[in-house]
Each structure stands twice: as structure tokens, then as C-alpha cells.
Amino acid sequence: MQADYVIVGAGSAGCAMAYRLSEAGASVLVIEHGGTDAGPLIQMPAALSYPMNMSRYDWGFKTEPEPHLGGRRLVTPRGKVIGGSSSINGMVYVRGHAGDYDHWAESGAEGWAYADVLPYFKRMEDWHDGGQGGDADWRGRGGPLHVTRGPRDNPLHAAFVEAGRQAGYQVTDDYNGRQQEGFGPMEQTVWKGQRWSAANAYLKPTLKRPNCDLLRGLARRVVIEAGRAVGVEIDRGGKIEVIGARREVILAASSINSPKLLMLSGIGPAAHLAAHGIAVLADRPGVGQNLQDHLEIYLQMAASQPVTLFKYWNLWGKALIGAQWLFTRSGLGASNQFESAAFIRSKAGVRYPDIQYHFLPIAVRYDGQAAAEGHGFQAHVGPMRSASRGEITLSSSDPAAAPRILFNYMSTPEDWQDFRTCIRLTREIFAQEAFKPFVKHEIQPGAALQSDDELDGFLREHVESAYHPCGTCRMGRADDPNAVVDPACRVIGVDRLRVADSSIFPRIPNGNLNGPSIMTGEKAADHILGKGMLAASNARPWIHPKWQVAQR
């Protein structure tokens, strides 16, 4: 079996590339270890806590004991299903800040500045503001990816935005437009009440074309002959076979599995590969390094009125929501419930936001455990640009073995300072007049915890991943010894091999990574096809005029 292009991974970037490459007339084979996304648990937005906790849809990765978090092992969900992590994520849509991409370009990813990537964000979007305003000139229409806004019917969503305004922050009606900074509506990859994953947006239409096929199998390694990638060795139903690539092999297997596959193929830090008995074909010390993520805590408040979603947090309530969704694709089941958001700066002198908020009108964890207090609400909050870096390494040369994942979370004093700032700024927001009718008391961390040491103790036990791993096959200049791919996503030192997914991000962008991952696939497709890039944008994003002297 062979095709012009063999893509490993039917995730956010892989689906976008399959769509664009096959649209241009090339033949494409997509290799995916996971299976179908059929069924309500994936397709119903409000059921988002289920698929990311199911071994059927999730690779089930866990970190090594994290040394700065008391040896806790954190879960690292990655989608093992068509659509990849876009089929198990929280469906939050964030482009990232212009400053993030300008930083990429400055650090060696030439051609990936905001002016360069904005046209790709616009190409991929079909944006619907739901009558809530927004920056139409900055947004895309008619692309494969539907981006919508929740109804924001719950009074707590408006209270959150108004409290931000009362605390002196900006209000923005489109954080994906000209102005990210401020409080406003949150956007979601939901369409007609259904999760709009990369599988629904890109892969399913692509598979209707005669020149694209999907293969179920576990990719074992890239087959490289005379310095050129010629195919991918896969395990399909216990049988080992090689899928040939006439033009190129493209890895889009996630920031966890793409570096693992490179290392299994002989591309990576030479000493590490040799220790596992793998012949070194290209000594690239950066493979698996530069691992980054966003951490967050849930600051939870008990509610003084029964206005939260807790009234549905019982068998009967869930059955009603599920039935309404199954028959009409409407109601509470049709939203991820993240409908208000904020991006703020932690202090004066920070040029653009470095703290993100997801607001939720119920006090509940990602694993579906509701707060014991009953009615409540919460803000997920965390810093965006931690200096901590971790690594992905091989645990074994067996392709079926999970890699070793160490994020090295909270390894700098700034991480602790930044998180304490997050807690204190959030408490101030919840203390505003807009929340007076709704706040009973603070559940978590709890008002008794005030000193730096008390907050640090809470953080050590309670910070959780926001599930945004990236950076492990960093993009940079071809002469950068620690770069893994060049700005055209080509693996440095091997011909006809590319990586295009969140692993190539030089530094983690602001917010959730699904949008930037799909953009990466869209832009990489034009590099692969040798087409000219879309014309750069002249749009100038908003920066707070007093950022050097004021925090808000």
C-alpha cells in the first residue's frame, strides 16, 4: 500500500493536512491507532468529561512523579480516536495572542509571525457570533471549522464579565479578534449542538474523496533509506507491514507520540537512542525536549442561589439533558458550558495577557466529580507562559510502550509567584459587586488559606494540567542545533520527512491549543505542496496603551 503522502495521526493537524493535500489532487493515506468517534459521549458537548477518561478514546498517558508537586503523577489525556484530541477536548476555541506568533518568528520560526498565521486562522474558520458582536474583519467565513458561542443564558456568565469590568479590567467582545485582553464571551468548536472536531470538520468530508484513505494501525517507526523517508512501518491487527510514501511522510501524532516516533526511527539525542539499542540516523538533541504545558487551578465558590448547573447533577437531570440533546441537538447538552472567558496581565510591564480564565457555572472537576457543597461555580485560572520545561524520552525501544513524560512542572520560583498572583487576582474578581447576589463563600482553596506558604501547599496538591502539551519537536532555523524541524516543518537532517502538530511550537501560545494545532496543519499543507503562502495580514492587534505602567 502506498500514497503520495502518508500522514501519521488523524488529529487536529493531521485531518487538516489530509483535507488540503487531497483537495490539491494528491493521494493521501492517514494512519490512526484509534477508532470511530460515533456515539453521544464524544458528540454531545456537555459530556466532555467522559471521553477524556475512557481508555477507548484516550492513550492513557501519565507523567513520571513530578518532583516539584510532591511526586504526584498527573494524567496526560491524548485522543486515540479519529479527530485526535479535538474529539476528547473541552471544545474551547482560542487562536492565541499575536505576540505568541511574533515570538515564534523571532526565535527562528521565520514566516510564522502573527501576520503570517492570521490568514490561515481565517481560512480554516466558519465563524458565527450568535448575535453577540465580535470582530468580523478579523474572522473567517466558509472554512471547514465552525466556531460558535454558547447562549450565555445563565446569569453567572454576565456576572463574571461585569465583575471583571468593575475590577478595572477591559471588556472584549472577541478575544480571537483585535483585542484578546479583557473579559467577554468564550468561543467553542460546536456546530448545531454537536462537537465540531477535526474529524467532523476535515476528515469525514476528505474520506469521501477517492484519493484519501484511513488505515487503522499502530505506527512503529518511519522507514528511512539513504537519508530519505520512504514509508511507515505499522502494526495492523498483529501484522507488521510498510506503507510506502511516494513523496513524503508527515508525522502529526501529537507532542507525545511524534517525538517518540522520531526516536524509534533513529532521529533524536544520540546517547539516548544508543542506550535503547536504536541505530542513530540523525543526531537531533532537541527531539523530545522543550516540553511545555499550561497548569491551572479551579477557584471554586459556593453559590447563595440555586442558579448553577448543579440542579441537573443527578441521574434524572442528566437523563433529561441527554434526551433533549439526542432528539433535538439543543438544550444544556449542546454547549460545553464554558461560555465566558478572560485574558489578563499579571502585572505592569507584561506586554500582553499571561493569565487565562475559563468560567463555569458549576463547581466540578474534569473527571466529573462535583464539589461536595452542591450549588457553586468556578474559574479555571493559570499562567500562560511558564519558564518550566520538561521532556519526552523513550521508556523502551518497544513501539507499544508508552514514553516517559516529565513536564517538570513548577520548577522555577516564578511559577509559584505567578500562581499565587492568579489566586489573589481571582479572589478580587469574585469579591466585586456583580457577584454579591451569588456568592456564599469560597470552597477552594478556602478563605483560611492566605499566606504564601499556605497557598503554595494548596497549589502543590491541587494544580492540574489544562492538557496543552506542546513543543517537543521545536521549529527553528536549520542551523539551530536544538531545532527539530525548519520553518517549512521539514525534519532537519532527513529528507522527505516532516512533523506538523503542536510538537513544533517553539513556545506555548496563550490559551487552548486546538485552534493553533489546526492552523499548523493548514499552513504546513501549503509548505508541503510547495505553494506560495497566503498573503500576510496588515491587521494590527490591540495592546494596552499603559501596559508598561499598569496591570489593568
Active site positions, annotated: 468
Name the DSSP class of 196: -
Query: What does the alpha-carbon distance between residue 534 and residue 539 come to, in Å, rounded to a whole number?
Result: 14
Q: Which three cell numbers stand for residue 281?
A: 540516523
Burial class (CB in 10 A: 0-12, 13-18, 19+), 171: middle
| CB-based contact 77:61 (threshold 8 Å) | yes
Query: What does the alpha-carbon distance between residue 519 and residue 469 come to, in Å, rounded to a whole number?
Result: 16
DSSP bridge partners of 475 = 485
DSSP bridge partners of 243 = 232
Query: What does the alpha-carbon distance between residue 95 and residue 509 come to, in Å, rounded to a whole number?
Result: 8
- DSSP letter for each residue of 342-366: EEE-SSTT--S--EEEEEESS-B-T
Sequence-distant (≥ 6) Cβ neighbours of residue 241 within 8 angstroms: 1, 233, 234
Identify which of 543, 546, 430 has the alpha carbon closest to the alpha carbon of residue 182.
Answer: 543
Burial 9-34 (b: 16+ CB within 10 A, else e): bbbbbbbbbbbbbbbeebbbbbbbbb
Query: What does the alpha-carbon distance between residue 141 and residue 125 come to, in Å, rounded to a whole number?
Result: 6
Q: Are strands 190-191 and 194-195 parallel, antiparallel or unpaired?
A: antiparallel
Query: What does the alpha-carbon distance between residue 439 and residue 71 come to, in Å, rounded to a whole number?
Result: 35
Name the DSSP class of 265: T
Sequence-distant (≥ 6) Cβ neighbours of residue 327 within 8 angstroms: none
Identify which of 412, 358, 348 has the alpha carbon closest to the alpha carbon of residue 385.
Answer: 412
Query: What does the alpha-carbon distance between residue 122 and residue 475 come to, in Å, rounded to a whole number?
Result: 22
